[in-house]
Amino acid sequence: MSIRLRTALPLLVAATIAFGCSDNHSDVQHPSNDATLSDLRLTGITLTSAFDPAVTNYVATVGALRSKTTVTATPADNGATVEINGVQSDPNVPAQEIVLNFGVNTLLVSVAAEDGTTTANYTVEVTRADIGSLEQTAYIKASNTESGDGFGGAVAIFRTTLALAAVNEGSEATGIDGNQDSNTKIISGAVYVFGQDAAGTWTQQAYIKASNTDGRDGFGEDVALFGDTLIVGAPGEDSPATGINGDQFSNASLSSGAAYVFDRDSNGAWSQTAYIKASNANSGDLFGYSVALYDNVLIVGAPGDDRVSGLFGSAYVFVRDDNGNWSEHSILRPSTPGTSVRFGHAVALHGDTLVVGDSSRFDSGPAYVFTRDQSGDWSEEAQLTAVNGESSDLFGSTVAIYEDRIGIGAEEEQSTATGVNGDESDNSGAQVGAAYVFSRDSSGNWNQNAYMKAATSFPGARFGVGLDIGRDMLAVGALRGNFGRGAVTVFTQAESGEWSLSRTITASNDESSDSFSIPAIGLDNIAIGAPGESSGATGVDGNQTDNSESASGAVYILN
């Protein structure tokens, strides 16, 4: 992304400079007539030359994924006031977040001098590229590629950091950067952290294992990233411990599950900082099957919790205090539990809103929305169901949230409709799959906003097996969505609110059974996991055509 200076004279500048008179016989201080900026910055956009207060017209281009930027406009004189797109900035924090729509966005920064008369306008025309501009920029493999590892089965992205899980990896290593070459602990699982430098190059930063690695723990079943914190779920972990940092080394409670917290220090080094269990851990809870993280709030799904009592699943809320210590805050359960519900199969969190999905084959949802009040307490706000919901659709098997938008996958929905808002009543195809977008209005009510299908619908495609949502886009994965091969379909939302199918993305080495279907939308990149991909390559941009390691898995980066 770059900004260049226009050579033409600015058209939108209105500057009237009033010069005060000097009176050698008076000490009266006249209000300043300085209406210039001393600095103008846009997050994620690098100016091609240093900002010049005398130059008032700029042009910028950004990629398709950057839907927001923060404009920081600092006046040269402290007495001047600044408006950004008509909204006055706080003089103590001269920054404002601006939404970027697809196409040209004109940002107007108006400066009014202290004298109340002198003004100046600075403009930046930011052109946001469309989804068609996305190109594959990296092909990522594990550093210890092996058949069956399923690298890319869970993917998380936060700015320039990627966490990529291989839940079937079998090393007996523990902690950070241990011996990757041993395979004595089948399905113990591993997570690989990659970072992107200023030139856009991705490199592996860490190879992460649990502190109590054991076979079939499923470390990496789900992962979550926020800032310098990584959460890894291990629903097959067997310790009977409860709470935070208990005894990790007993295996007396099969598949009770655990979640692990890792933090990155100022030197870029990762370390495990917490080992988290449910306060009521029991065998079969599958605690850690799903995880979500936002700031200092962690959600852990346990779809097997309390099966005997008939509640069938829970979502646990943990909070981190100012000293970095985690504690269990609450346990969330559905207000109307049904039979065979797997509440907590999927969780997603944004700010004070949480969505919890299930994967029951015996009902058509709902997915549950919880909100947090000012005291930090959570309560159920809504139950979301599909307009065409039917049993066995698996509505809620995948969920994603961004601000007031929720995306929900139903990977076994049966309509063969295509595109947006097609025929929902058609049930002619088994396990075709669908995705739904719900939005919250100004009154706090949630409504189904769109019903999404792939450009071509196939029985067995399982459209919705992977899903992520951004401010104005939804990415939906299908195991067999591209004539039997994996694909990710990207939908975009116009300023009017209308959704449209914008693009179907396939892998550069597209083959059957690769399962190219697990998307994660970042600020400038979209990562897509393909846990069935079979190349024997390792690291970044290796040989994609080598199929010597069946289902070793791969991840693809586009921007």
The candidate with the shortest Cα–Cα distance to 387, out of 359, 372, 362, 366, is 366
Lowest mean pLDDT among 102-111, 332-341, 360-369: 332-341
Asked whether residue 88 is assigned to any structural domain, the reply reads yes
Confidence bin at 257 (pLDDT 50/70/90)? very high
CB 174 within 8 A of CB 182: no
509: which residues sit within 8 A by CB, 6+ positions away?
Answer: 139, 533, 535, 544, 545
Residue 291 lies in a domain: no
Instruction: Say yes or no to pLDDT of 10 above 90.
Output: no
Whether the pLDDT of residue 21 is over 50: the answer is no
Mean pLDDT calculated for residue range 217-235: 98
Which tens digit of pLDDT belongs to each residue from 445-486?
999 999 999 999 889 999 999 999 999 999 999 998 776 789
CA distances from 34 to 14, 75, 83, 86, 461 (A): 13, 9, 15, 20, 63
According to DSSP H, which parts of 9-85 are helical? none
Q: Which domain holds residue 29?
A: 2-130
Does residue 63 sit within a domain?
yes
How large a percentage of the chain has pLDDT more than 90?
82
Give the pLDDT confidence score for residue 11 in this predicted structure: 32
pLDDT of 26 reads: 52
pLDDT tens track for 489-543: 999 999 999 999 999 999 999 888 899 999 999 999 999 999 999 999 999 999 9
Q: What is the pTM of this model?
A: 0.92
What three-state secondary structure class fits 132?
Answer: helix
Closest residue by Cα to residue 436 from 530, 504, 417, 444:
417
Q: Pick 226 or 358 by higher pLDDT.
A: 226
Residue 14 lies inside a defined structural domain of this protein? yes
Q: Is the pLDDT of residue 388 over 70?
A: yes
Q: How confident is the model at residue 126 (pLDDT cuts 50, 70, 90)?
A: very high
Position 454 in a domain: no
- Please report whether residue 91 resides in a domain: yes
Q: What percent of the chain has pLDDT over 70?
A: 92
pLDDT higher than threshold 50 for residue 318: yes
pLDDT of residue 344: 95
**291-324 burial, b if ≥16 CB within 10 A, otherwise e?**
bbbbeebbbbbbbbbbbeeeebbbbbbbebeeee
**Res. 429 pLDDT band, cuts 50 70 90:** confident
Q: Is residue 548, in this structure, part of any structural domain at all?
A: no
Output the pLDDT for position 173.
97
Report the chain's mean pLDDT, rounded to a whole number. 91
Residues 42 and 95: their CA atoms lie apart, in Å, by 9
Count of domains forming the chain: 1
Residue 13 reports pLDDT greater than 50: no
* For range 405-417, the mean pLDDT: 95
pLDDT band at 428 (very low <50, low <70, confident <90, very high): confident
Cα 225 from Cα 310, distance rounded (Å): 32
Q: What is the CATH number of the domain that holds 120?
A: 2.60.40.2340
For residue 32, pLDDT over 70 is answered with yes
Counting every residue written for the chain, the total comes to 559
- 84 occurs within a structural domain: yes
Asked if residue 141 has pLDDT above 60, the reply is: yes
Q: What is the pLDDT of residue 360?
A: 72
Q: Where are the beta strands (DSSP E) in 141-287?
A: 154-158, 161-166, 190-196, 202-208, 222-226, 229-234, 258-264, 270-276
